[in-house]
Chain A
Amino acid sequence: MTVILVSSDNQDFKVDKEVAERSILIKNMLEDVGESDSPIPLPNVTAAVLTKVIEYCEHHRNDPVQVPEETDDPRKRSNDIEEWDMKFMQVDQEMLFEIILAANYLDIKPLLDVGCKTVANIIKGKTPEEIRKAFNIVNDFTPEEEAQIKKENEWAEDR
C-alpha cells in the first residue's frame, strides 16, 4: 500500500506505507484518517529535504523499532554512526539543520539521533568561540557575563 506525501512546495511523493510510517507523526495521521487515499500535506518540509528523509526511511525500513534504554547512566555515545548514515549526512550545514528539524517535526527518532550525533561530533573538542563560528551563532553575552560564567565553572573543568 502506498501513500502520497506533499511537501511545502507542493511536490508529491509516492511512498510505501511501511516506509512512511517510520515517521510517528505520519503513522498517527494515517491511523486517524483510516482507509482514505488522500495525500498527506507536510507544510514544514520542502521537497529537497523530504527527498532526503524518504531516502533515509527507505534504507532503514526494516530496522527494528528502538527500545528505550533503561541504563542508569543516560550518557550516550556519538561515535557509533554506521557507515551508510555517515555518508548520508555528508551534506551542507543548511541541509543538516533542515534534516534535524524535519526529523523532529516528523518524529523519526533514529534520524533525529543521527543528526544530533553529527552535530555533537562537530562540537566536540571546540572552544565556545570555535563552536559559534562553526554554526554562525551569535554571542549574546556581555563580556562581564562571559567572565562571570567562566569563573563559576572553573571548578568543573577537568585538569
Chain B
Amino acid sequence: MTTTTPPEQTPFDLPEIRIHIGSFLDHNDRINCILINKAWRDTMTSLLWEKVTLVDADDILQTPLQKISVPLDILQKNAGLVKTLIIQSELIDDYFDITFPILQTVSFWPKRSMPYPKEPNAEAFDGLTNLIKRNPTISQLKLGMSKGRHPAPDKLWVAVATAPNLQLLEAPRMRIRHSTMPLFWKATENLKALIVNFETALRFSFTADGTSGPFLFPRLRRLSLEVSQAAHISEDDQIRLMSMCPQLETLDWFPGREFSPDKFLECCRAETWPNLEGLTLARMDHYTDSDIKAILESMRKVTILGVSRSGFGPRSFDALRPHFFAGIIELDLSYCSAVTSPMIVEVLASCKKMRKFAAGCVSAKDLVASPPWICGSLRELWIYFDMSDGDAPMDPNVTTATQEADLAAAKERTQRQICERIAGLEMLQSFSFSDPTREIPIPSLDLRLGKGLELLSTLRELKGIHFHGTKQWMRTEDVQWMLDHWDHLHWMGGVMDIGDHNQNAAL
C-alpha cells in the first residue's frame, strides 16, 4: 500500500515460519534460500544439515538427490547441526572421529556395490564403535549389517552398553558369540525399543545366578524378536525373554518355526504384559479362533494386530470389536480363511483410525450395501473383490437382450459404487486387490478407464498398486492415466495387455 511506513513484521522475520516454508522446499531450493540473507542462511543451513547420508563418492551419479557424499571438512564445520546420520559407505574412517553435539539417530548400513557383498570388515566396526563413544547424545542406533560370518566385536557391545542416552537398538542379523551374550544383554537392558533378529546358531541360556543374563528389561516398550530357524533357540527361551519385559506396549514375534499356542497363551492369561497394545505374530497356523480370542481378551487396548495365516474368525472378531472405535490402527488378517466378507465390510465402516488393513475376499454385494466407510486415514489396503455375488441366478435359455443389458448396467453401477468408495480413501499409499488364493481368478474389480478408474484421481498419495491373480488386464491408456494422475506411483504389479510390450518398457 504505502511505501513510506516503517517496515512491519513480515512472516520471514519469524524463524518458525522460515522453517515451515523450508520444510516444503526441495534440496536445491533450500540451497538457493541460503543466499537470500543471513536469517535465511541460518534457518536453511540447519534444515539442510539435519539429516546427512554418507555414500561412496562413486555412487553420486546413480543416487537420487538426497544422497550426497559430503567432504570431510564441510561435515566437520556443520557437525553441530546434524541430528541424523546415515552411513552407507565403508570408506570413511576419518568421519568416525567427528563429534556431533546434537546427534540423535545413527543408521549404519554399509553397502557395497559389488555383486557379492562381503561382511563389514573389522575397521568398519572400529569406526562405528568410535562414533558411538564420541557421541553420547545418540538415542537411536540402527545396524543393518549385511550377512556375514563374523560377529561384531565385543568392544562394539561395550560401547553400546555405555551409551548413556540410547533408547532404541535395531540390529537385524545378529550373530553373537556365546561368550559375548552377557555383554549384549548388558547393552540392551535399559533400552526402550529393541528390534533384533537372531541368526546365530548358538543358544543363549539363563543361568540361575543371573550372571549371564538377560535380566529384566525394565524400560522396554517395544520388542521385535525374530529368530531364524538356524538359530535353534528353544521356545522356552524365546518365551522367557519376552516375559522379562513387563512394560511392553508393542510386541512382534517371528519365531523360526511353529510352536503350539499354549505357552504364549499362558503368558497372556497371566497378564505378563498389562500394557500391551500392539501384537504381531508369525507362524500362526496352529492358532485357533478361540486362541486368538483369549489373546485379545487379555489386552486392555488393541491398536495393532497382525495375525496373518491364523484361525482368526467370528469369536476373535467379537473380541476385537470393542476396540474398533477406541483406536485400532493396523490390522493384518491376510490369509485367514475364516474371515468373512461381512467382517471386512464392518471393519471398513467402523474403524476410524485404521491406517493399514489387510484381509481377504469381500463380496461386491456386501460392499455396496454397507454403511459408509469411515476409515479415511487408511494408508495401506489389501483386500480382493468378488464381483460375482451381485448376479441373480438366471436361466440362460430365458434371458432376453434387455435382461442382459440390465444385468450389465447393474454390474457397471456396482463397479462405480465400489470405486467411489475407494476414491474416498484420499490418503491411500498402497492398494492391492491381488487374489493370492485362486488359480482361476474370480470376477474381480475391473479397474480400467471407463469402468471406474477415472474416479480414483483423488488418490494423490498412491505409491503402489497390485492386482496379481485377478482377471484384470491393464491397457496402455489405463497405465498412462495412472502415471498422469498418481504422481508418486512407484510400483505396479499385475497383468498388462499383451500388445503393450514397447509401452511397458517405456513405463
Contacts and interface: CB of A to CB of B under 8 A. Distances in A.
A77 interface: yes
Interface stretch (B14-22, B128-136, B223-231, B405-413): B14-22
Given A67-B377, A156-B68, A97 B25 contact: no
B32 interface: yes
B24 interface: yes
A80 B460 contact: yes
A150 interface: yes
Contacts of B91: none
B70 A120 contact: no
Interface of A: 64, 67, 74-80, 94, 97, 100-101, 104, 112-113, 115-117, 119-120, 123-128, 131-132, 135, 137-141, 146, 149-150, 152-153, 155-158
Nearest to A93: B10
Interface string B1-45: 100000001111010110011011111110111111110010000
B84 to A, nearest CB: 9
6 contacts: A80-B460, A116-B20, A119-B21, A141-B35, A141-B38, A150-B35
A138 B39 CA distance: 11
Q: Pick the 10 closest A-B CB pairs, nearest first.
A: A128-B35, A120-B24, A78-B24, A100-B11, A116-B21, A116-B20, A140-B37, A119-B21, A128-B32, A120-B21
B246 interface: no
Given A119-B21, A132-B36, A101 B9 contact: yes
Contact of B36 (A78, A120, A137, A157): A137
B68 A149 contact: no
B301 to A, nearest CB: 18
A125 B29 CA distance: 6
A6 to B, nearest CB: 20
Contacts of A123: 21, 25, 29, 32-33
Nearest to B10: A97
A155 B41 contact: no
A77 B16 contact: no
B74 A155 contact: yes
A139 B36 contact: yes
Contacts of A157: 28, 31
B234 to A, nearest CB: 35
Given A123-B25, A141-B38, A104 B31 contact: no
B12 A135 contact: yes
